[in-house]
Amino acid sequence: MKALVKKESSVGLWLQDVPEPEIGINDVLIKVLRTAICGTDLHIYNWDNWAQKTIPVPMVTGHEFVGEIVDVGSNVNSFKTGQIVSGEGHVVCGRCRNCMAGRRHLCAHTSGIGVNRPGAFAEYVSLPAANVWEHRPGIDLDIAALFDPLGNALHTALQYDLLGEDVLITGAGPIGVMAAAVCKHAGARHVVVTDINSERLKLAKQLGATYTVNPTEQNLSDVQAVLGMHEGFDVGLEMSGNASAFRDLLANMCHGGKVSILGIPSQDTAIDWNIVIFNMLTLKGIYGREMYETWYKMSLFIEAGLDISPVITHRFGYEDFQKGFDAMNNGEACKVILNWDE
Q: Among 89, 192, 99, which Cα is nearest to 149's?
A: 89
Measured between alpha carbons, how far is 29 from 131 in angstroms, rounded to an integer?
Answer: 12
* Residue pair 275/281 in contact by the 8 Å Cβ criterion: yes
Q: What is the DSSP letter of 102?
A: T
Instruction: Judge whether 40 counts as a catalytic residue.
Output: yes
Q: According to the annotation, is 168 in a ligand binding site? A: no
| 3-state SS assignment for residue 59 | strand
What stretch of H or E contains 67?
Answer: strand 64-72
Q: Among 158, 110, 108, which Cα is nearest to 130's?
A: 110
Q: According to the annotation, is 183 in a ligand binding site? A: no
Measured between alpha carbons, how far is 169 from 5 in angstroms, rounded to an integer?
Answer: 34
99 binds Zn ion (CB under 5 A): yes
197 binds ligand NAD (CB under 6 A): yes
Using Cβ positions, the residue closest to ligand NAD within the complex turns out to be 173
CA angle 128, 239, 39 (to 5 degrees): 55
188 binds Zn ion (CB under 5 A): no
The one-letter amino acid code at 144 reads: A
291 binds Zn ion (CB under 5 A): no
Q: According to CB under 6 A, which one of 286, 306, 311, 336 is a site residue for ligand NAD? A: 286
Q: According to the annotation, is 33 in a ligand binding site? A: no
Q: According to the annotation, is 104 in a ligand binding site? A: no
Closest CB 292 distance from ligand NAD, rounded Å: 16
Distance of CA 214 to the CA centre of its chain: 23
Measured between alpha carbons, how far is 160 from 109 in angstroms, rounded to an integer?
Answer: 26
The one-letter amino acid code at 85 reads: V
107 binds Zn ion (CB under 5 A): yes
Q: What x-and-dash track marks residues 232-251 binding ligand NAD by CB under 6 A?
A: -------xxxx-xx------
Q: According to CB under 6 A, which one of 5, 66, 167, 172 is a site residue for ligand NAD? A: 172
* Residue pair 160/188 in contact by the 8 Å Cβ criterion: no
User: Which residues inside 35-94 make contact with ligand NAD, applying CB under 6 A?
Assistant: 39
Instruction: Judge whether 43 counts as a catalytic residue.
Output: yes
Measured between alpha carbons, how far is 36 from 114 in angstroms, rounded to an integer?
Answer: 12
Tell me which of 43, 90, 155, 190 is the catalytic residue: 43
Please report which residue ranges of 94-146 form alpha helices under DSSP H: 97-100, 141-144
Measured between alpha carbons, how far is 60 from 224 in angstroms, rounded to an integer?
Answer: 47
Binding partner of 99, given Zn ion, ligand NAD, none, CB within 5-8 angstroms per partner class: Zn ion
Relative orientation angle of helices 198-207 and 174-185, to the nearest 10 degrees: 30
Binding partner of 287, given Zn ion, ligand NAD, none, CB within 5-8 angstroms per partner class: ligand NAD
106 binds Zn ion (CB under 5 A): no
Binding partner of 50, given ligand NAD, Zn ion, none, CB within 5-8 angstroms per partner class: none
Binding partner of 93, given ligand NAD, Zn ion, none, CB within 5-8 angstroms per partner class: Zn ion
* Residue pair 67/141 in contact by the 8 Å Cβ criterion: no
Closest CB 1 distance from ligand NAD, rounded Å: 27
Binding-site residue set for NAD(+):
175, 195, 200, 262-264, 286-287
Binding site for Zn ion (CB under 5 A): 92-93, 96, 99, 107
By CB under 6 A, name the binding residues for ligand NAD: 39, 152, 170-176, 194-197, 200, 215, 239-242, 244-245, 262-264, 286-288
Annotated binding site for Zn(2+): 38, 63-64, 93, 96, 99, 107
Residues labelled as active-site residues: 40, 43
Which residues fall in the annotated binding site? Answer: 38, 63-64, 93, 96, 99, 107, 175, 195, 200, 262-264, 286-287
